[in-house]
Amino acid sequence: MNTLSPLGPNTPRIALIGECMIELQQRADGSLQQSFGGDTLNTAVYLSRAMGDKAQVDYVTALGDDSFSDAMCRIWADEGIGLDLVQRLPGRLPGLYCIQTDAAGERRFLYWRNEAAVRDCFTTPAAAPILAALPDYDALYFSGITLAVLGAQGREKLIETLIEARQRDARIVFDNNYRPRLWASVEEARAAYRSVLPHVDLALLTVDDEQALFHFEDCDAVFEAYAQIGTPEVVLKRGSEACLIRCDGEAFEVPAQKVKKVVDTTAAGDSFSAAYLASRLLGGSPTEAAQAGHLLASQVIQVPGALIPK
C-alpha cells in the first residue's frame, strides 16, 4: 500500500492511460463544433496545467495515422503533455462522440468507437516497450472507461503493470467512470473493476456510478467496501454537493463551489480529479486538494465542452 505523500525532489513522471476521441458539441441551432476530449485525456490536460514544470505528464493511448490524430498530438504537445507513449496505428482512426446538452447543463453522449485504435493499445508489438516503461513512473492514472476500451486482454496487461509499478513505489490512481454501454453486462464490468481495485492507492469515485455498478445503499456502504479492499484514500464526488473523503482512517467533508449558471457539466469530474491529484502530489492535504478540485470544476462547468481555455 503506497500512501499519496508528496513526490520526491526530482521531476516526477505521471502517466495517464486511456482514450481521446473526436468531440462534436451540438449547439442550440443544431450546428456542431468539433474538438477533442476523453475522460483521462481531460484529466491529463488539467493535470499538466496544474503541475506546470513541477512534473512530466505523459499520455498512454493508441491513435490512427489520420489528420485528426495528428491534430490531437499537436494539441497535447502544446499543453505540455508527453507523446512518447502514444502509438500511431496505420489505417486506424480515433473514436468519435457527440455531446447534447439540455437547458440545465446536463449532457447526453452519443458514441462511435467500436473500431477505435485504442482498443489495441496494449496488444500490439509496439505496446511491449510502453508496458515495460510504465512501472518506472511515479504515478499511474486510469479510469473505468480505460478498463472498458482496453478489453479483456488489455486489462490483463494493465493489471500486471499496476502490480509491478506498485512494487516500485508508484502511486496508482483510479477514477471509476462507469459507462454501462461500454460493457457487455454489468457482471463483466464488476469483475473488471474488482480485478484492479486491490492495486489502487487513490480512488476518485462518483457516487452515482458506484451505486449503478455495485448497488451500494449509501456513501457509508461505499467507504466500507473500499476499506475492506484496503484502498488508503477514497474520494466520493457528489456533483454540487460536498465531496466526502476517507484517508488513512480520517474523514473529511468539503463543500462544493457554487456557481450562478451551469452551462455544461462535461469534464467536471475529470477536472476535479486533476486538481485533487495535483494538490496531493504537491503536498496538499485532502481538504486542500478537494478545495482545489471544486474550484477548477466550478470553472469548467461554466464553459461549453470538456476543455476550457487556458
Q: Catalytic residue numbers?
A: 270
Q: How far apart are CA 11 and CA 127, in angstroms?
A: 25
How many residues appear in the chain? 310
10 Å CB burial of residue 268 (0-12, 13-18, 19+) is buried
Q: How far apart are CA 39 and CA 113, in angstroms?
A: 14
Whether 20 and 35 have beta carbons less than 8 Å apart is answered as no
Whether 246 and 256 have beta carbons less than 8 Å apart is answered as no
DSSP string, 176-204: ----GGGSS-HHHHHHHHHHHGGG-SEEE
The 3-state DSSP class for residue 68 equals helix
Q: ∠ at Cα 145 (286, 213), nearest 5°?
A: 80
Q: How far apart are CA 107 and CA 118, in angstroms?
A: 24
Whether 274 and 43 have beta carbons less than 8 Å apart is answered as yes
